[in-house]
Structure 1
Amino acid sequence: MAHYSQPAAANYYTPSAHSHQKQRGYRICDQCGAIENPAVQKFRLCGGCMTAQYCSPECQKSNWSSHKAICQHTAAQLSAVKQQYMSSAYADENLAKYLRKFTSTHSSLLGWAGFQALQLKRLPANIRSNALLIELSYNSHADSLHRFSIANTHVVPRSYVTGHDSLVAADIERREERCRRSGGIGTAVILIQCGSISQVMPVEVDPPSKITWDSREDWADVLRHFVESGRTDFKPISTTSRGRVVYG
């Protein structure tokens, strides 16, 4: 592995006890395409699937006809998972909910890890062929920031994520087309998995020329450091604010 003169995060050495500020990735309204500014207004999540987000109730209502199929599909999966774990004495029935909260809480860190794992700075075409799989271990911990730890990370064929669920594949493709229309390179796919439960995180990515993050080979160690320290304040080193990634 390469040796780096500085850590991947501007605040890597900040003590975890002082890391109370949560850093959010940019989010995009699934209806009008508006970019979220959390300091002014935080977008609302769809109550059915807890995945799609909207800037207003009006946009959520307008988007329902196109969102309905994937929403009901995701909600049905959540219900099935809950029923499965209600019958088990060894698992937490809230695991699916915790996994979605984990993904939302660490969206900036997970998006950065996906960008690095797929080497999109150097090989942007990888966005169409590969995906990042992050395997988690679950810990029954009272503190929500310590319920998961990183078990493994793998770069897998994108078909590993999209090949088994046509509705998920169609939703990713819709985001891909939207991203390309706005000048981006496409949608990076990150799969967060804990046992049989998984969460797909699509990340719409600007052209690499607009993203100033250095390519890093130590991304998995950085991911593990922030997750297992219970930190939510990941700040990638960047020399300009031009570049952005949009989290779907």
Structure 2
Amino acid sequence: MSTSTDTNPTSTPKEDEQQKDPKWKGQSRTLKICHWCAKKQEPGVKPFQACAKCKEVIYCSKECQVASWPHHKGPCKSAVESKKQLEGKPELAQQIAVFKKWHSTNVDLLRHAFICALDLGHNPTAATTNLIFIALTLKPDHATQPARAKYTVHNGFTLTDAEARDMLGAQGPQGLQMLENARQNSEFMRKKGGLGLARLLLMENEKKMVDFTTIVLPSKENARLAQEKEDWGEDWIEQLRLALP
């Protein structure tokens, strides 16, 4: 599939700062890598462009933005709709931005938790039928902590797709659409040779904020090696708590 370049126009991050929308940064924008090819933004060169609709992801080129659009358009639409629902609620919008930045800066640990929770090193197909749920608590001293250290893990467990649909369905049709978008994109990533996408439901306990995020998974062999090196096993949630800053 392809799309015209003006279907999803882009703007630079600097231009975004002049707008009043909450700055919800996804993984690519937080980590400064291209959302499509994962190229790293180099210092001293022209900044990567952000998606002008959701402003959560960035691209190193127009070619990557066009190639990504069939897979990004679903999550992009969900992000835009979420922001519209929060118009006039700047405090809550900012809290969500902080929450998103926390999990975007802890991608590696969350990926490893997913691999161990579902035992992907030995049961790689579990990624296609299961998710993980993690509840988090804002630290008392969060205001003085860096973005990746503002929350502590409260509890967590695995979910089947059916259980996730029930949980997200309570959030309305938008939640179910996010789950379907993730399923489709995970299938696309599996065709590229990996295990697809880790799918995580994250909840902030105090405000009951729920965010659904995905993380690219490694190949079957690399998942096995990751578990052999450090297998958190059934104690994965406690090990994640200890590993987080």
Please, what TM-score do these two structures have when normalized by structure 2?
A: 0.65
> How many Å separate the matches in 2 of 1:223 and 1:152?
10
Q: Deviations over 1:88-117 (max 9, x none)?
A: xxxx55111011100111011111111111
Q: What displacement does 1:73 show?
A: 2.1
Query: 3-state SS of the aligned residue for 1:29?
Result: coil
> How many Å separate the matches in 2 of 1:74 and 1:120?
29
Structure-2 change in CA distance of 1:144 and 1:58 (3 Å): same
Larger mean CA deviation between 196-205 and 56-65 belongs to 56-65
Structure-2 change in CA distance of 1:169 and 1:60 (3 Å): same
Consecutive unaligned residues of structure 1, counting only runs of 5 or more, are 1-23, 87-91, 231-248
Structure-2 change in CA distance of 1:55 and 1:222 (3 Å): farther
- Aligned: 1:155 with 2:158: yes
Structure-2 change in CA distance of 1:153 and 1:83 (3 Å): farther
Q: What displacement does 1:37 show?
A: 4.1
Which residue is equivalent to 1:216? Answer: 232
Structure-2 change in CA distance of 1:219 and 1:102 (3 Å): same
> How many Å separate the matches in 2 of 1:183 and 1:114?
18
Contact 1:158 1:189 (C-alpha < 8 Å) held by counterparts: no
Contact 1:193 1:199 (C-alpha < 8 Å) held by counterparts: yes
> How many Å separate the matches in 1 of 2:71 and 2:116?
32
Contact 2:135 2:203 (C-alpha < 8 Å) held by counterparts: yes
Instruction: Describe how 1:8-157 pairs up with structure 2 within 5 A.
Output: 29-30=35-36, 34-37=37-40, 46=51, 48-49=53-54, 51-60=56-65, 63-64=68-69, 67-81=72-86, 83=88, 86=91, 93-139=93-139, 140-145=142-147, 146-157=149-160
Query: 3-state SS of the aligned residue for 2:124?
Result: coil
Structure-2 change in CA distance of 1:185 and 1:58 (3 Å): closer
Contact 1:25 1:107 (C-alpha < 8 Å) held by counterparts: no
Contact 1:49 1:71 (C-alpha < 8 Å) held by counterparts: yes
> How many Å separate the matches in 2 of 1:43 and 1:201?
22
Please, what TM-score do these two structures have when normalized by structure 1?
A: 0.65
Q: 2:193 aligns with which of 183, 188, 191?
A: 183
Larger mean CA deviation between 158-167 and 70-79 belongs to 158-167
Q: Deviations over 1:140-173 (max 9, x none)?
A: 5232344211111111123344563343133212
Query: 3-state SS of the aligned residue for 1:206?
Result: coil
Which residue is equivalent to 2:209? Answer: 197
Q: What displacement does 1:81 show?
A: 4.2
> How many Å separate the matches in 2 of 1:74 and 1:194?
18
What amino acid does structure 2 have at the position aligned with 1:35? A
Aligned residues: 197
| Higher RCO (CA-CA < 8 Å; seq separation 6+) | 1
Contact 1:43 1:56 (C-alpha < 8 Å) held by counterparts: yes
> How many Å separate the matches in 2 of 1:150 and 1:116?
16
> How many Å separate the matches in 2 of 1:161 and 1:43?
34
Contact 2:117 2:236 (C-alpha < 8 Å) held by counterparts: yes
Q: Once superposed, what is the RMSD of the aligned Cα atoms?
A: 3.3
Percent sequence identity over matched residues?
19
Structure-2 change in CA distance of 1:143 and 1:48 (3 Å): farther
Contact 1:25 1:108 (C-alpha < 8 Å) held by counterparts: no
Query: 3-state SS of the aligned residue for 1:36?
Result: coil
